[in-house]
Amino acid sequence: MATTIASINITSTDLLSDSLSLSAIATLTGAGNSTGLTHTEGLGRKTLASGHAQYTLFDGTNRTADKAHKIYLKNLSGTAAEYFLITVNGEDMGRLYAGDWAFFPWSAHDADNDIKIDPSADDMTLEYMLFTDD
């Protein structure tokens, strides 16, 4: 059994009137059990060359609906204005600007539930990984 732990720390001394310090940690487990996630597609990078267009990063038809899927994404651009528009299950989730990252669950089960990326400029690179018990 694999053990995979995800954690996040958010701190700020000037966002609020008081200092902010949030911390969360979770052991990633399979759907409806306490067994660790056992599969990954590995850490990968996708560079979208000139003439950028929306690209399907993960195809929902290749996954089982009742499994635990977790997605990690990171925009590796060093140009502040460059972003990837992330579309999940046909809905715009948001933009990942240079250096931004995201970690979220994904409900996959058919072609409508793809994860797509759309870069704002040519030759941008996205780092990604899928954790799953599928």
**What pLDDT, in 10s, does the model give residues 68-84?**
889 999 999 999 999 99
Give the pLDDT score at 112. 67
Give the pLDDT score at 133. 86
Cα(107)–Cα(67) distance, integer angstroms: 8
Residue 65 in this model has a pLDDT that exceeds 70: yes
pLDDT category at 60 given cuts 50, 70, 90 is: confident
Domain ranges of the chain: 39-132
DSSP SS3 for 62 = helix
Give the pLDDT score at 82. 96
Q: Using an 8 Å Cβ cutoff, are 104 and 74 in contact?
A: no
Give the pLDDT score at 109. 64
Residue 93 in this model has a pLDDT that exceeds 90: yes
Of 73, 110, 114, 112, residue with least CA distance to 95: 73
Token digits of residue 102: 């995201």
Fold of 39-132: Jelly Rolls (2.60.120)
Give the pLDDT score at 1. 64
Cα(92)–Cα(86) distance, integer angstroms: 6
Type of residue numbered 114: D
Give the pLDDT score at 121. 94
- In this prediction, residues 1-13 reach a mean pLDDT of 89
Give the pLDDT score at 84. 95
